[in-house]
Amino acid sequence: MSNTLSRRQMLRRGALLAGGLPFAAGLLDQAQAAPNGHLPPSREVTGIADITGTGELMAPAYSEKGIALRAPAELKARLFANENPFGPSERAKTAILNALPTSYQYPFMHIRDLVKMLADHDGLAPENYMMAAGSSCLLSAAALCFSKPGGNIISGDPSYEDLPTRATLVNEKWIKVPVTSEYKLDLDAMEKAIDGNTGLVYICNPNNPTATVLDADKLRAFCERVSKRVTVFVDEAYIDYLDDPAGMSMMSSVKAGQNIIVARTFSKVYGFAGLRVGYVAAQPSMITRLGAYNEGMISLSAPSVMAALASFQDKDYMRGVLEKTTASKSFLYETLKKEGYDYIPSSANFVLFPIKMEGKHFTDEMMKRGVGVRFWKFNNKEWCRVSIGRMDEMEAFAAAFKELS
């Protein structure tokens, strides 16, 4: 009997992994983008009929993809996807051009060089790394690797929903732990929420969408303790916006041999969202485990890898991006203050602030004025998340916002 059951369970899991995922992709777009963290009622997973017909180009209007696909060609300000409009660097662009003649070759040698550079920088070994075309692929790999029927995953609320949403395709539960009164991830409550079925604790630091950052010593102590019980995934997509990224990073916990996965992306400070380069660092045995759920090296394009190699060493470029981001952010803070709005002080390239009207209405009205932003709903409030753009984009935001506030 128990053999039959476990075979059935295996089949269910197999079906989810093999057959379920192509259908699930459309659902994921909706769920990870959903402003309240749930699938919209009309799109609840009730069966394949709900899913078919939702082609990739039909992503829901409030998701980043959906906003981009519906945006007018003449958008004045593209402030809905936390991209970096100051990138990629000149060196990256030159590297791409130089890489074109040999781009008939597979990218493996360049990836080996990039991994070596990252490993030397982080004080780790090449065996500690796995690369992919953006960190999303690796978030997804971890979600599947650590999910099982009856299992659960723990994340903050609100936080980046990509990984936990995908985990929900296999897991039974997603335990959402509300952020503290300072809008930071509540590490103590997250630790308390762990039970025997927890597969992974997901920490986004700095956190998207609140743009808050955790105290590094507190997070390091959390990682040390919690990783003895369960794998901790630390998503550091926005870490480069902090004053001391190396000091704030949990790469040190990987170095200490702990059961931690750290995810990084070139999509943000390096301006590679369209070039697609990301990676994780973890223990070599974990890299092997994750490899079963990820395409790995073959998904990367050689010109993008060459561009990443050129960008990573370009400290002047990075300083320039950070200065321009700070100037645009200060302008945004001033605009919000002048209009009588509060905001959560930001440690990243986006700002979250409470709005005084329904979120969808607000974002629709902003879009009518050529400004793309996103909305959230939590703590019984409506919120706008605005990405930090060029100064002309922030001015366009200010002009549209004044008309609505």
Write the DSSP symbol of residue 126. Answer: G
Residue 7 structure tokens: 């075979």
- What number of helices (H) and strands (E) belong to the chain? 17, 12
Q: Quick one: which of 261, 282, 277, 151 has its CA closest to 205?
A: 261
Piece of the chain touching ligand PLP by CB under 6 A; list 128-136, 280-288, 295-303, 397-405: 128-136
Among 92, 141, 273, 388, binds ligand PLP (CB under 6 A): 273
- Confirm or reject binding of residue 134 to ligand PLP (CB under 6 A): yes
Least distance from ligand PLP to the Cβ atom of residue 402, Å: 28
What residues from 27 to 86 belong to the interface with ligand PLP (CB under 6 A)? Answer: 82
Using CA atoms, how far apart are residues 97 and 307, in angstroms rounded to an integer? 9
- Confirm or reject binding of residue 386 to ligand PLP (CB under 6 A): no
Least distance from ligand PLP to the Cβ atom of residue 197, Å: 25
Least distance from ligand PLP to the Cβ atom of residue 53, Å: 26
Q: Give exposure, 118-141, as e/b (b: 16+ Cβ within 10 Å).
A: bbeebebeeebbbbbbbbbbbbbb
- Confirm or reject binding of residue 160 to ligand PLP (CB under 6 A): yes
Q: Closer to ligand PLP by CB, 88 or 278: give it.
A: 278
Q: How many CB atoms lie within 10 A of CB 112?
A: 14
Q: Closer to ligand PLP by CB, 308 or 371: give it.
A: 308
Q: Closer to ligand PLP by CB, 88 or 398: give it.
A: 88
- Confirm or reject binding of residue 281 to ligand PLP (CB under 6 A): no
**Dihedrals phi, psi of 102, to nearest 5 degrees:** -100, 15
Least distance from ligand PLP to the Cβ atom of residue 392, Å: 22
Residue 336 structure tokens: 């919000």
# of chain residues touching ligand PLP (CB under 6 A): 13
Among 32, 136, 198, 231, binds ligand PLP (CB under 6 A): 136
- SS3 labels along 99-116: HHHHCCCCCHHHHHHHHH
Residue 308 structure tokens: 């990443």
CB of 279 closer than 8 Å to CB of 132: yes
CB of 184 closer than 8 Å to CB of 207: yes
Q: Closer to ligand PLP by CB, 273 or 394: give it.
A: 273
Among 135, 253, 328, 346, binds ligand PLP (CB under 6 A): 135
Helix (H) or strand (E) holding 175: strand 173-178
What residues from 205 to 234 belong to the interface with ligand PLP (CB under 6 A)? Answer: 208
- Confirm or reject binding of residue 161 to ligand PLP (CB under 6 A): no
Beta pairing, strands 77-78 & 371-372: parallel
What residues from 324 to 383 belong to the interface with ligand PLP (CB under 6 A)? Answer: none
∠ CA 137-325-378, rounded to 5°: 60
Piece of the chain touching ligand PLP by CB under 6 A; list 133-141, 167-175, 324-332, 337-345: 133-141
Distances (CA, A) of 273 to 8, 117, 277, 315: 41, 21, 8, 19
CA 98 to chain centre: 30
CB of 400 closer than 8 Å to CB of 371: yes
Q: Closer to ligand PLP by CB, 318 or 398: give it.
A: 318
Cα torsion 16, 229, 221, 123: sign? negative
Over the window 140 to 159, marking each residue x when it contacts ligand PLP by CB under 6 A and - when it does not, the resulting string is --------------------
Piece of the chain touching ligand PLP by CB under 6 A; list 84-92, 129-137, 281-289, 334-342: 129-137
Among 122, 157, 235, 393, binds ligand PLP (CB under 6 A): 235
Over the window 242 to 271, marking each residue x when it contacts ligand PLP by CB under 6 A and - when it does not, the resulting string is -----------------------x-x----
Q: Is 373 helix (H, G, I), strand (E, B) or coil?
A: coil
Among 169, 200, 213, 237, binds ligand PLP (CB under 6 A): 237
- Confirm or reject binding of residue 278 to ligand PLP (CB under 6 A): yes
Q: Closer to ligand PLP by CB, 39 or 308: give it.
A: 308
Q: Closer to ligand PLP by CB, 282 or 398: give it.
A: 282
Rg of the chain over Cα atoms, rounded to whole angstroms, equals 21
Among 187, 204, 260, 306, binds ligand PLP (CB under 6 A): 204
Query: Which positions lie near ligand PLP, rule CB under 6 A?
Result: 82, 134-136, 160, 204, 208, 235, 237, 265, 267, 273, 278
